[in-house]
Structure 1
Amino acid sequence: MSSRAASKVAVIMGGRSAERAVSLSTGRECALALRQAGFDVAEIDAGLDLAEKLKALAPDVVFNALHGRWGEDGCVQGMLEWLGLPYTHSGVFASALAMDKTRSKEVYRQAGLPVVPSLIAEAAEVRRRHVMEPPYVVKPNAEGSSVGVYLVRDGANSPPRLAPEMPDVVMVESYVAGRELTVSVMGGRALTVTDILTDGWYDYDAKYKEGGSRHVLPAEVPAEIFDACLDYAARAHEALGCRGVSRTDFRWDETKGGGGLVLLETNTQPGMTPTSLVPEQAAHCGISFPELCRWIVEDASCNR
């Protein structure tokens, strides 16, 4: 832990994805916590000149606080590998794999983890007709934070009116009713289970706006469901090849008991904002936010 206590840490944030605002919030919070933990911290808004800025700064570690495309899909990880800079969170392969919802589902299935039926379709076709019997969800195949997610309810007469900026190809998956549960994994250890309560769909605003959701921690669910969530999250982290911190999201239809639990996706760059779930779960386990950020930096590596 002490080997990097005085290290120079570059916190990269912002970027060009649809999740820029969230990333800026994550980066600022983490930079503050790392300073409290005793690190020499520089904040970098990741633009096209990111490589040049990093070369000039020559940090000991890069804290990756980027979200969305380029930041958590293996792109910036590959650049950091090329520069030989140790960086936080998952490596190139795991990042790219987890960001691709279709391929990550294939990995989950191979690992024996429960997932919902889904298909890949052209957005133009999804706009024209129901490509799946409602209710279903339409989302980009490679974005996070509920960016561009559409819920088509049971009995809907018309297909969704997808925004023009949606990708040409999207994922369509069966909607699973029930409770939204999530588990953070830290170094292969599943921390606890949170039950996320909202007044409606758990969308972007519910995730990041104050008061948008309420968190029950630990989740008040049967022991078999609680333990299954912990087990599945740790197995998903391992199956994808993640390192550092990840967060896996679930849906549980309590009318179906243990058979109603399904794994939705794993986030290799979970948010670290004031309303974020990972810091909240870590605090529940006795790990302060500065201690969590310190651990993440200590776990940073390159070429693995």
Structure 2
Amino acid sequence: MTRRIAVLMGGLSAEREVSLVTGRAVLEALHARGHDAFGIDVGADLCERLRKEAPTICFNALHGRWGEDGTVQGMLEILRIPYTHSGVLASALGMHKPTARRLFVEAGLPVADGMVVRRDKLTSGDPMPRPYVVKPINEGSSVGVRLVFQGDNFDPAADLAGLGAEVLIERYIPGREVHVAVMGERALGAVEIRPKGRFYDYEAKYTEGRADHLMPAPLPAEDYQEALRLALAAHRALGCRGVSRTDLRYDDTGTRARFYVLEVNTQPGMTPLSLVPEIAAYHGISFGELVEWMLEDAGCDR
């Protein structure tokens, strides 16, 4: 039977524009390979659209809240439509940073010292010695992330407006930014990102020329393999399936280099600047082949 593929994109999150780029790239790849595929710009009428269009499978190209946090996944489960990437529970766990941290610790993975604090309490002073990182509890693509260094004029009321009642505070880890793609039960490879600004923020991720990509990551051989091991272990700790991307910090500023797991992205981007397609291409997997594999993986156990 010919599959009718719905590509879910856009959505209601802060990452809407990035999701549209991902979705269009996926649609183009599917059409080029002869698939019956169409896009849905996701809104509050998604359930009705899916019932009307009756796809046999969904490629979930949504990013951020309501698309990456188990919400859409739950709807698709109820409608019994197979979909790409992780299921309801793994998606929810991966999106909620404090819960993901706890699972990483339980799995024996290294994480930065951190705590959840009420945003209004930050006006009373620093919750830990500077430098530290402030993160929203449940956003992706570095949306809302703030780095607080010595001498910074940090105003929590203004700088963190709109981040919710609670935020995650983590000790800033010096060193290098390493990202690993996992495809099924295989850690594909690692890329190092060298942003040209203070850190690999939203603009650096999605603006040409704002960061250098070093593929493969120029690490000692044993450390490269350790990055792959940590990423696969983090993928498993959350119960992910399909493709994921694990973000690591590699602190090589002291006498002994060490990795820290930052987070797992259960629905990594598929834009021209995205890291998973770049890593896959280095290992001989074209964008179209990657997209097709994700669809096959989505339908194989359902």
Same structural fold, with TM-score higher than 0.5 when normalized by the shorter chain: yes
Q: Which residue of 2 aligns with 1:78?
A: 74
Paired with 1:157 and 1:18, the residues of 2 have a C-alpha distance of 26
Q: Which residue of 1 aligns with 2:225?
A: 227
1:176 pairs, out of 173, 181, 188, with 173
2:23 pairs, out of 17, 20, 27, with 27
Which aligned pairs between 1:200-215 and structure 2 lie closer than 5 A?
Answer: 200=197, 201-215=199-213
Paired with 1:36 and 1:164, the residues of 2 have a C-alpha distance of 43
Change (3 A) 1:86 1:258: farther
Q: Do the aligned partners of 2:174 and 2:253 also contact (CA within 8 Å) in 1?
A: no
Change (3 A) 1:287 1:303: closer
Q: Which residue of 2 aligns with 1:142?
A: 138
Offset from partner CA, 1:187-212 (integer Å, 9 cap, x none): 12001110101122110000001111
Offset from partner CA, 1:37-56 (integer Å, 9 cap, x none): 22111100000000110111
1:300 counterpart SS class: helix
Unaligned runs of 5+ in 1: none
Q: Which residue of 2 aligns with 1:57?
A: 53
Change (3 A) 1:178 1:73: same
Offset from partner CA, 1:254-277 (integer Å, 9 cap, x none): 123655211100000100000000
Q: Do the aligned partners of 1:130 and 1:159 also contact (CA within 8 Å) in 2?
A: no
Change (3 A) 1:158 1:68: closer
Q: Which residue of 2 aligns with 1:294?
A: 292
1:190 counterpart SS class: strand
Change (3 A) 1:303 1:172: farther
1:111 pairs, out of 85, 107, 113, with 107
Unaligned runs of 5+ in 2: none
TM (norm. structure 2) is 0.96
CA apart distance, 1:132? 1.5
Paired with 2:38 and 2:299, the residues of 1 have a C-alpha distance of 19
Q: Do the aligned partners of 2:60 and 2:83 also contact (CA within 8 Å) in 1?
A: yes
1:192 pairs, out of 182, 189, 192, with 189
2:144 counterpart SS class: coil
Paired with 2:239 and 2:59, the residues of 1 have a C-alpha distance of 19
Amino acid in the other structure paired with 2:31? R
Is residue 120 of structure 1 aligned with residue 95 of structure 2? no
Paired with 2:37 and 2:162, the residues of 1 have a C-alpha distance of 36
CA apart distance, 1:155? 4.4
Is residue 42 of structure 1 aligned with residue 38 of structure 2? yes
2:94 pairs, out of 82, 93, 98, with 98
Identify which range, 150-159 or 113-122, moves more after superposition: 150-159
